[in-house]
Amino acid sequence: MEMRLGLALLAAAVAAPAGADGASDLARRLENLHAAAPLAVRLRMDLRLERTLHKKTAKGEASLHLDIEEDPAGLRVRWESGLLRDADEEERGHDRDPDRLMPLREGMKELDAARLGHLLDQAGSLAGLTKSDPAEEVREAFEGREARRLVFHFEPRLSWTERYYVRHREGRLTVWIASDGTPLASESQATFDGKTSRTFGRFKGSTTVRTRYATEGERLRVAEREVDERNDRDDAGEMEHTWKRFVLEAR
């Protein structure tokens, strides 16, 4: 079942009272969420791929599981042996049919050490995205508890080529926080478009990331994250659509 943040929110929202400063509460809370206490989690990643080129479409999907442990000595990851065998078989299938996608291999690339470390420690990246003044702040019930919703704007990350040719880009981050400033959930939406010449080469992209957070001691980590990313290039009829979901459960 895909995560739906909207279903968890009550429709009625009232303006925050004068003097309320959710951004300051959030910043102070994030400063205290950098503990490196030992952690052990079970991660499940679901992945769906769709690629279209000149009206020819290929699809693939995969599910990956791994155990992660982090302590002062470092990060340890245990891959299931069956997953590694399946990835080898997937690659052999791709050798037989080059048009066949390799979702297992792509999923494993997503789970490198840097990405796993990021999922286990969200305070730094969230602090960077919310360092500016919020464009909006309202009180809003979240899953039956008192909360505040903050909206920020940010510059989406682009590749070097995309930055050179982009005409328009926009990022919007919505964060729901508890009364003490602890992040509960967030949703980011980033879009961009451009073209490589006056008459052809149009491209556009969008990424939506929905996250639920968990705190363990003084650590802020991802509990569940859904990523929906789409990129289109009109002239070649090229489209890439990737959907990912990460679920992390304490062991």
37-70 pLDDT, tens per residue? 889 999 999 999 999 988 889 999 999 999 999 9
Evaluate whether residue 181 is within a structural domain: yes
- Residue 190 tokens read as 């980033």
In this structure, are strands 148-154 and 39-53 parallel, antiparallel, or unpaired?
A: unpaired
Helix segments in 68-112, DSSP class H: 81-96, 103-110
| Amino acid, single-letter form, for residue 187 | E
Evaluate whether residue 8 is within a structural domain: no
pLDDT winner (highest mean) among 124-138, 188-202, 223-237: 124-138
pLDDT at 160 (0 to 100) = 81
Evaluate whether residue 6 is within a structural domain: no
Q: Any idea what DSSP says for residue 157? A: P
Evaluate whether residue 10 is within a structural domain: no
Evaluate whether residue 169 is within a structural domain: yes
pLDDT, one tens digit per residue, over 154-183 is 988 888 877 778 889 999 999 999 999 999
Residue 226, CA distances (Å) to 186, 197, 234 in order:
11, 34, 26
Residue 189: give the domain boundaries. Answer: 21-250
Q: Which residues pair with 244 in a beta bridge?
A: 47, 227
Evaluate whether residue 15 is within a structural domain: no
Evaluate whether residue 100 is within a structural domain: yes
| Residue percentage of the chain with pLDDT more than 90 | 63
Which residue from 192, 232, 245, 190 is spatially nearest to 51, judged by alpha carbons? 232
* pLDDT above 80 for 15: no
pTM: 0.85
Domain count, the chain: 1
pLDDT winner (highest mean) among 6-10, 121-125, 191-195: 121-125
pLDDT at 17 (0 to 100) = 43
Residues written for the chain? 251
Evaluate whether residue 14 is within a structural domain: no
The predicted model gives 110-120 an average pLDDT of 93
